[in-house]
Amino acid sequence: MTTVPRWRRAVAEGIGTGSLVTVVIGSGIAAAKLSPDDVGLQLLENAFATALGLAVLILMIGPVSGAHFNPVVSAVDWWLGRGLTAQDLAAYVPAQIVGAVLGAVLANLMYGEAAVSWATTERSAGHLWLGEVVATAGLIVLIFALAASGRAVVAPAAVGAYIGSAYWFTSSTSFANPAVTIGRAFSDTFAGIAPASVPGFVIAQVVGAIAGVGLLALLYPRAGDDVVTTDSPARTGAST
């Protein structure tokens, strides 16, 4: 088992998730300012910065906590028995959510916005929820397939690349993360999501995580057999 104290791992998850939200929202604000008349270019700039930032954050935080930055990734890690205990899960999830909210506040303040400005972008529609199911299921399969097949060393690049591409191939622009979804409700900017739209996205993400576990059982039936310590990169994974 890991020798890193649980409290330090939880703090690392909070810092990592908060930093990820800062990257997502901050790059979205910058994109809107730099390319005000081209939404497609704004999305490209936002996706590119997020993909690179996520890969870097996994490299930075992975050796401490596993760099989940995502409640559904942590829940699946616990469910598969890959080393995360119920007590760890209970510490990780609140830290991830609090970190996400603080990350949104930081991004807002860096760009001279109000610390909290509730998002007004409505994202409530069946096709968007389907996009979140697909995005989250794919993320879960990617992370734990890499771990199960001994290729976790490429997780930072692979997860970053997946999220960057999922910005474009999913209708929802791939939030795929309940904590990040909550955090993005605190910023009425390019990357925001209206608070009323958050529950639908979170439910879709949970459904996607369950679907991902089902796909793992089909493709990698022994995915939960090899217990990996928390400081191993084999357990890293995150999303926006």
**Bridge partner list, 187:** 117
**Bridge partner list, 117:** 187
Q: Answer whether residue 225 shows pLDDT above 70.
A: no
CA distance 126 to 133: 11
127-166 residue pLDDT tens: 999 999 999 999 999 999 999 999 999 999 999 999 999 9
CA distance 237 to 231: 13
- pTM assigned to the model: 0.92
pLDDT tier, 118 (very low <50, low <70, confident <90, very high otherwise): very high
Reading the block at residue 209, the tokens are 């995580």
DSSP 81: T
CA distance 54 to 203: 23
Domain boundaries, the chain: 6-226
CA distance 32 to 57: 24
Distance from the Cα of residue 16 to its chain's centroid: 10
Reading the block at residue 173, the tokens are 């622009």
157-166 residue pLDDT tens: 999 999 999 9
Cβ distance 228 to 67 under 8 Å? no
State the number of CA atoms in the 13 A half-sphere of 91 facing the CB: 15
Cβ distance 106 to 22 under 8 Å? yes
In this structure, what is the dihedral angle of CA atoms 34, 159, 80, 203, given to the nearest 10 degrees? Answer: 30
Q: Which of 99, 121, 122, 108 is CA-nearest to residue 25?
A: 108
Q: Residues near 168 by Cβ (< 8 Å), separated by ≥ 6? A: 43, 47
Q: Answer whether residue 204 shows pLDDT above 50.
A: yes
**CATH top class, domain 6-226:** mainly alpha
pLDDT of 238: 66
pLDDT tier, 23 (very low <50, low <70, confident <90, very high otherwise): very high
Reading the block at residue 2, the tokens are 């890991």
- 222-232 as b/e: b if 16+ CB within 10 A: ebbeeebebbb
Cα→Cα distances 185→8, 103, 148, 177, Å: 27, 11, 34, 13
Please name the residue ranges forming H helices in 38-195: 39-65, 71-80, 86-110, 126-148, 155-169, 178-184
